[in-house]
Amino acid sequence: MGKRPEQPDKTSKSLRERVTAVLDTIRPMAQSDGGDIQLVDVDDDGVVRVRLSGACVGCPSSAITLTLGLERNLKDRVPEVTRVVCEQP
């Protein structure tokens, strides 16, 4: 019998790589409104630190975007994420 092709190991990607991949799917929404999201750090406790820029800075909706959009998506797709913290620019 022939060998089955090896399946990529989803756990082989680092926590930071997986967080970055999720941010890359969310970032275009922020950019379409003139803002952006930059990944600052992901620590061993699952705390993701981001920095908002452009139109996101000072936007009244940024707290909602951070909690309902960014944090929820990250927690759903990367279970190790415990919370998202926004650092000041």
pLDDT, tens digit (0-9, with 9 covering 90-100), for 11-39: 568 999 999 999 999 899 889 989 899 99
Does 7 reside within a domain?
Answer: no
**CATH code of 69's domain:** 3.30.300.130
Count of CB atoms situated within 10 Å of the CB of 56: 22
Does 11 reside within a domain?
Answer: no
pLDDT at 48 over 50: yes
Does 47 reside within a domain?
Answer: yes
Tally of domains within the chain: 1
d(CA 24, CA 2): 37
Q: What is the pLDDT of residue 4?
A: 43
Owning domain of residue 64 = 16-23+33-87
d(CA 21, CA 30): 15
Does 40 reside within a domain?
Answer: yes
Does 8 reside within a domain?
Answer: no
pLDDT at 8 over 50: no
pLDDT confidence bin for 1, thresholds 50/70/90: very low
pLDDT, tens digit (0-9, with 9 covering 90-100), for 52-72: 888 888 878 777 777 788 999
Does 71 reside within a domain?
Answer: yes
